[in-house]
Amino acid sequence: MRSRFRNDRQLTVRMTVTLFLLGLLYVAFVAALIVLLKSWVLVVVIAAGVLIAQYWFSDRIALYAMHGRIVEREEHPQLHGVVDRLCAVADMPKPLVAVSDIDMPNAFATGRNADHAVLCVTTGLLRRLEPDELEGVLAHELSHVAHKDVAVITVASFLGVLAGLMVRFAFYSQLFGGRGNKDQNTAAVFLAVMTVSAAVYAISFMLIRALSRYRELAADRAAALLTGRPSALASALTKVTGDIGRIPTKDLRTAQAFNAFYFTPALGAQPGIANLFSTHPSLEQRLEQLARISAELGEAAVPDTSTPTPGEAL
């Protein structure tokens, strides 16, 4: 499926390289587990089960975790109207539209491909954004689907999940194993599995974070060019980031597990080295890029809703 979202060769290359490196890491990880656990059936069953669950049920898992529900046009006509217009302009299939009844202003897209995608927004986002700002956010999320990076992030994340599950499995099998297992050999295997799993998790974590930060910049760029209103997207980014920063941390904890999928992360500013571990580029980076695009398009820095730009075909 080819849409009218601007192709991003750098994003494609980064996704390919990330999947290749994670694939090599995955093969090495499974081989190490088979040697250590001496049960290839167990390792293959766990690995296959996690991959299938991640790939086929990622949309349902994300919706369930965020209390999202599919909504029809009669319930949210304005939201469906914006999605319809964007999909028509982008020449792509319309995803399912969902709403999460939480105050945190955010949005995300998930699903294994464009024909099985879900676009979800929170009621907090709908209450806070103006129509042109909402359009920019939805275009950003639809670009993730069009560029296929939603599916790539979903598959890439599975290795880290598998490594985490193996750490737990090794821990509990050591803790609750029979007496015959509690010897020096078992302890050595336990330590080796924990070490290998932790190393795999750390490497996959960094690779995914690096790809995630770039894909957010790519989505901002694609959305700005599709709508012709980079300043509206910049306004939405500033507003949403500021509002999330005022939400108590305890209310964001549930959402943080899905930060890689969100329009903007469910946490406050991350100064210093913490940016290296962030799923998103800094607000400053995103605004600087949008300002450059705005200048290239000849758009005013401040949105002027009374005089639509030629690129505003929505």
147 labeled part of a ligand binding site:
no
Fold of 9-176+184-230: Zincin-like (3.30.2010)
CA 121/CA 138 separation, integer angstroms: 9
∠ at Cα 298 (295, 304), nearest 5°?
105
**Is 144 marked within a binding site?**
yes
Q: What is the mean pLDDT of the chain?
A: 78
296 in active site: no
Question: How far is Cα of residue 8 from the mean position of the Cα atoms in its chain?
Answer: 17
Contact 213, 18 (CB under 8 A): no
- Residue 199: predicted pLDDT: 81
Total-model pTM: 0.78
d(CA 222, CA 260): 18
216 is in an annotated binding site: yes
Given the residues 141, 284, 288, 299, the one annotated as active site: 141
Confidence bin at 168 (pLDDT 50/70/90)? low
The confidence band for 132, taking pLDDT boundaries of 50, 70 and 90, is very high
Predicted local confidence at residue 307, as pLDDT: 40
pLDDT of the residue at 71:
95
Phi and psi dihedrals of 190, rounded to 5?
-55, -45
Domain boundaries, the chain: 9-176+184-230
Would you say 207 and 214 are in contact if contact means Cβ atoms under 8 Å apart? no
